[in-house]
Every structure is written in structure tokens, then in C-alpha cells.
Amino acid sequence: MKHHILCINSGSSSMKFALYLLAETEELVVEGEVERIGLPGGWLWIRDGKGSRVVDKHTDFPDHMSAVKAMFTTALDEHHLPAPDGVGQRVAFGGPDRYAPEIVTPGLLLDLRRFIPRAPLHIPPEIKGIEAVAAHYPGLGQVACFDTAFHCSMPEIAKWVPLTRSLRHEGVHRYGFHGLSYEYIVSTLGNALAGKSIIAHLGNGASMAALINGAPQDTTMSFSAVGGLMMGTRCGDLDPGFLIYLMNEKGYDAHRLDLFLNEQTGLLGVSGISPDMKTLLDKRDSEPHAAEAIELFCYTARKFIGTLSAVLNGLDVLVFTGGIGERAAPVRWMICHGLDYLGVQLDPDKNDAHAGIISLDDTPCIVRVVRTNEDLLIARHTRELLFGGAKGKEHEH
């Protein structure tokens, strides 16, 4: 049976979406984004599955409700696209006990509201996205897909942080993020991830995961999406003493720290130019600070590969994914330079061509480049939960 599944990824001022047709094959029908929600100069764009722009609409969107309404009205009514049979919503944080996606219920929404302090930048707009769809299509089944679920099966020792046991009992431990991306890569590569592997999801947000036979063992992000690798506007791991210094000597409060660590550091902070890796690569020959930011990003990534390799006791496969991992050949080269002791040796021509395998032939560690597709994974989960069994049939319409 054919099902059209709409996937939504809600941010504080944006809403990305993709509509898939799932049958014997999987087809992207359209994808798009509503930008600058709640801000002047709003923008809705939609392109078809072949990449051609079919909607380019500039108008203000006061809130997520208006964004969803415009998305449905413009896509369905004006361009005669099929109505979705179900909606999959990306949710950043599912808590310690959610190992898999769930059908959205009032109880789940109640839990998500309790989790807001854990992901204050992500969960509120995600709840708004879920509620906006429910208001526009009250009978439409929705599924929440959690970015933390993939990491829930990590060994307990990898979840611990050396704080007090009372905080551990309150749920203060390492969770990890980008789980939907990791799950997609695992499902795509299958047996090619046999043995010891590291997946490097490198984009504006960046993290890595260590796996044995595709099962998660450790990851670089921790309690929040700020930790681990240096990112576009996020600092990654810090000595807690830096935060105490900023509070005591610079007068930072919690709100200012949150803004600083999430939006003003990372590639943007070090370069003083941009959080965008492509922009920095274009400027690195003329702007020393751009070159320095790139070098620090690659140095940090290389250190974490070493750390995760120690967890695995070796490395058989290294996978690059995410916007930077898939498209920035110089960054991949700089990260891998100096990893010879792990058997990592790149073929420069394959790397420049973004080939599927970019390592030299007959090297101990295979290095791959794989395009991630979290939306397609969300669509698959949504279809399975809503229509895969007897319970799912009641959502069909």
C-alpha cells in the first residue's frame, strides 16, 4: 500500500519539511522550509524531488501555527500535492527510557514539556510543530522520532558523568544526539559496519559515535547538544573552570552563558567571520582567522577519533556524513592527516571526488563518505508505527 508521509523538523524560527511517497520504492515528492517564523521577512520555499523550485513565497509567519497552515495550504491546495497519511516529527530529546519512536499522545506531550529544561532551544518549537499539525489536521496520526534514542543502548559506563549519584538518579547523564543520522547510516551500510567503526556527523552541529557491529558504544555529545566537537556556533567540550571565570569575572548569568555557548562560539567565535565551513574554506588563503578556525575544528575532530578508537580498541571503518562530512574534502583530508597509526590513509583523488570510499586500496581502515537522510528515516518509522500493524490501521484515511 502507498502512503504519503510528511516529515517535519521544527526550530525556534524555522520549520523544515519533506513529503515522501513510500510504497515498494521510496520517493521524495517535495521538500521545503518556512524561514523566519515570528520575524519580519518570512519565507516559504518548496522544491520538488528533482530539485526544481516550485514555491518561493515571501510573507510574514507570526507563529508555527501560521507556518503549518501556509505549508499545507500552499503545498496541497495551490499545487495539488497529495495530503499526508501521517506526520513524523523530529524531537531532539526523548529522555532516558525512549529507545524507539512513539505515536504522539497527550502523555508524550506532557513528558516533552517536562524535558524542556534539558533541551530549551529545541523542545518548545518541536511541541509547537506537533500542536500546529494537530490543530490543522485533528485526525492525522503523528509520530515523534527522538534524536537521543539511538544512544540509549550504550554501555552504562559510557553514560556516566563523574558528578553525584543523586544527580544521576535525576537523569543527569550522557545522552548523545544526531541519533537519527547515525541510525540511517547504520541501516544504509549494514554489514559494511561490521567490526569497529566511527561515524562522524559533521555539519553546523557536529558529533561522532563509536560502534561495534553497528551497536552504539559511546558518543561525543553528552547531556546537551553543546558538548563534544567544536561546531558552527557551539564551543563543544570545555573546562568547567571557563564557565566559573565568565560568571565571576565577566558577570555572565545563565541566560547569557546559554546564548554565548550556543550562538557565539565555535567556528564563528574563532574566525570572527562566519559559522559556515564553506565560507571559511573560501577565505582561508586570505583570512588567517578563517584558516585557524578550520585547523582547530579538524584538530579537535582528530582528537575525538583517537579517543573513540581507544574505546573501541582499534578502528575498521571511519564514516563521514553531514554537510561538512559529505562535501568538504579539505576538511576530511586535514582530519585524517596523522591518523596513520589507525590505518587511515586517504586517496587524494577519491577524496576530492567525494567518492563512496575515499581511502587507499588495501589499507586497514576503510574510510567512507555517506549522505545522511534523517527525513527518510523518520518517514520509514512513521509509516511502520502508523500502518505497519493492526493498531496502525485505525489511522488510515
Distances (CA, A) of 361 to 191, 325, 327, 347: 19, 21, 21, 8
Q: Are 48 and 23 in contact (CB under 8 A)?
A: no
Which distant-in-sequence residues (6+ apart) come within 8 Å of 79 by Cβ? 46, 54, 55
Count Cβ atoms below 10 Å from residue 155 Cβ, excluding itself: 12
Strand order of the sheet with strand 53-58? 53-58, 43-48, 26-35, 14-22, 3-10, 86-91, 142-146, 102-103
Q: Which entry of 147, 218, 316, 375 is annotated as an active-site residue?
A: 147
* Burial letters 2-27, b for 16+ CB under 10 A, else e: ebbbbbbbbbebbbbbbbbbbeeeee
CA distance 366 to 357: 7
Q: Assess whether 147 carries a catalytic annotation.
A: yes
Strand partners, 45: 33, 56
In the chain the first and final C-alpha atoms are separated, in Å, by 13
Q: Are 325 and 209 in contact (CB under 8 A)?
A: no
Q: Are 123 and 91 in contact (CB under 8 A)?
A: yes
Count Cβ atoms below 10 Å from residue 233 Cβ, excluding itself: 18
Three-class SS of residue 192? helix
- Cell 541501516, located at residue: 187
Q: Are 320 and 301 in contact (CB under 8 A)?
A: no
Give how far the C-alpha of residue 377 lies from the chain's centroid of Cα atoms, to the nearest Å.
12
Which residue numbers are catalytic?
147
